[in-house]
A and B are shown apart, each in its own frame.
Chain A
Amino acid sequence: MNLQACLLLSSGLFCVGLYGLLTRRNAIGILLSIEVMANAANLNFVAFSRYSGAGYGQVFALFVLALTVAEVAVGLALVMALFRSHRDALVELASAFRH
């Protein structure tokens, strides 16, 4: 498997995540899609690192993992708040502010 193939795979993964981002109505689903997109980026980091022989990509990927964990923790808390105040996790329920 060469670099091009890896990049194609990660781009495909990114698009899958994007598709989920745009079609999911449930906040948890959107969170998952964002994770998929972030992991597409991680795949890139690791692939570039593997084919150039430098270690920076793996380091970067580890940091990204940690960051996304922090982000998801906060995100899940917010989803909980949404669920408590609106009795559901459908994001379109939170649309009091508009226009």
Chain B
Amino acid sequence: MTAPDVNYLMPELGVALAAVLVFVADLLLPSSRRKLLGPIAALLLLAVFTMTFFVDSSGSDAHGTLFGGAGPLYFQRLFLGAAVIGILGGLEHVERQTHWRQGEYYFLLLCSLLGMMILPGARDLILLLIAFELMGIPLYVLAAFEPGEKAGDVQGKRASEAGLKLFMVGSASTAITLFGLSLVAGLAGGTSMAALHAAPATPLFTIGEMFILAGIAFKLGVAPFHMWVPDTYEGAPGPFVSFLAASPKAAGIAALCALFLCGFGGVSASWQPAVEGLALVTMAVGSLLAIPQHNLRRLLAYSGVAQVGYLLIAFATGTAGGVAMVLFFAVTYVATNAGIFLVAHAVAVDTGDETDAGLKGLAGRSPWLALALLAFLLSLAGIPFVAGFWAKLYVFLIAWQAGLYWLVAAGASLSVVSLFFYLLLARAAYLVEPTNKTPARVAPGLRVAIIACLIAVVGIGLYPAPLLDAAQAAAQSFLIPIH
């Protein structure tokens, strides 16, 4: 391999190097200095993030296996940003709860991130599968990452249940995906996307596609593969949930784009109805089941499920505009959900109450935290002028143009239903008198992370044009035919 070939791989290599550095630093640092590991990891990732603006974005490839270019870079920047926010948001929690194993936590997080970084550019089934699992397996461990060494410990019970549910559903989905992959690769006579693209659409091929779709649907939390989502979010460590709820879903979208647009783009008629059906079921399940929830993370988990439903509407169009809107939606989704889960975590840490009752009178106690919450809620509800508004508007517009009228109608009515529980949360924060006036204590790292999300959500809301342009450019790299 000559030097220019490596250039576009720099972000992936950077993350791998960062993971190794954190691992080594963990071994070298005395235990009193281990709290530096988080900032080190965040700084390294920021450096990689900066580097993404200097790499070759022309779209070179390594023998058809891994592509660079605008699309993968778009996703990589998103993952890096989300990972930095996730690390910053969890600095204090990780140090307090799992002081001895901090290095492990960050190393696993970076490994998962490395898997995500490879995913959007992967154009070969083997690489795609490895990246997908590299992302997934560390998450199983991280979900169970709480101090629960003693038998019968409550926190240990919660964390092991969260991890187990994620693992069980995840590995069953992987097995189903593997079977699908074996059928698809066998019928196409190769593992490259080019081979898949050339394969004829036989019924057996369609079965394979559907099995693969089921595996990605698990990662995206699409109903009926979503059932781990609320349980895991409720039990896993708070700041980790803000990472889990954002990045892996975006990575799932990247995998969906890489596989179904580059690989199965030629036989889109075979999977579009299935995606439409999934979108409908997901929106309905997410919006309706969120209504009776009182645990904040559980409620937000269902709301996240519903959001992915909206995203699938745009994906079901299969047009260039639709894909661009999927990418645009992914960014607003990550910024909003990472932010709101961090706010929920901050409130839970401060009040010790994980239900919506903890939000009562938040505006009177911490106006800025309440304002951030309000911005994220408005973004989820799709109200101008925050990021979620444009995302929802453009998704509905593009789906309407593509003729998916019934999906748009269902999505619009379900988003009215979802207004109900979003506004209830806003009401609790703003219209209920606080019982005590002491301002909420928010740790500095968490505060920086929330502010970063807030800036992203409001910034995109006020000035969406640059992100739209970037999304449109990125969508092209998933749509150009591969030979």
Contacts and interface: CB of A to CB of B under 8 A. Distances in A.
Given a CB threshold of 8 Å, the question of whether A touches B is answered with yes
Interface of A: 10, 14, 17, 21, 27, 30-31, 34, 37-38, 40-42, 44-45, 47-49, 52, 54, 56-57, 59-60, 63-64, 67, 70-71, 74-75, 77-79, 81-82, 84-87, 91, 94-98
A94 B164 contact: yes
Contacts of A59: 126
B336 interface: no
Contacts of A31: 171
Given A60-B191, A70-B137, A71-B174, 4 more contacts: A44-B179, A45-B185, A78-B144, A81-B164
B182 A45 contact: yes
Contacts of B234: 97
A71 B137 contact: yes
Given A37-B179, A44-B179, A78 B163 contact: yes
B167 A75 contact: yes
B148 interface: yes
Nearest to B163: A78
Interface in B145-195: 148, 151-153, 156-165, 167-168, 171-172, 174-176, 178-179, 181-183, 185-187, 189-191
Given A41-B175, A74-B140, A60 B185 contact: yes
21 contacts: A14-B179, A34-B174, A37-B172, A45-B186, A48-B187, A48-B189, A52-B189, A56-B190, A59-B126, A60-B126, A60-B182, A60-B185, A64-B129, A78-B144, A81-B159, A82-B164, A84-B151, A85-B152, A86-B157, A94-B164, A94-B165
A98 B162 CA distance: 11
Contacts of B189: 48, 52, 54
Contacts of B158: 96-97
A91 B168 contact: yes
Contacts of A91: 164, 168
Contact of A41 (B133, B179, B235): B179
A47 B171 contact: no
B157 A96 contact: yes
A59 B175 CA distance: 18
Residues of B in contact with A, size category: 35 or more
Secondary structure dominating the interface of B = helix
B230 interface: yes
Contacts of B178: 37-38, 41-42, 64
The 9 A-B pairs of least Cβ separation, nearest first, read A48-B186, A44-B182, A37-B175, A41-B178, A94-B161, A81-B160, A97-B231, A41-B182, A41-B179
Nearest to A71: B171
Contacts of B153: 85
A85 B148 CA distance: 8
Nearest to B151: A84
Contacts of B231: 97-98
Nearest to A84: B151
B190 A38 contact: no
B355 to A, nearest CB: 13
B141 interface: yes
Nearest to B177: A41
Contacts of B181: 41, 60
B164 A27 contact: yes
Contact of A97 (B175, B182, B230): B230
Nearest to B235: A97
A63 B125 CA distance: 11
A73 B191 CA distance: 27
A30 B169 CA distance: 11
B17 to A, nearest CB: 22
B126 to A, nearest CB: 6
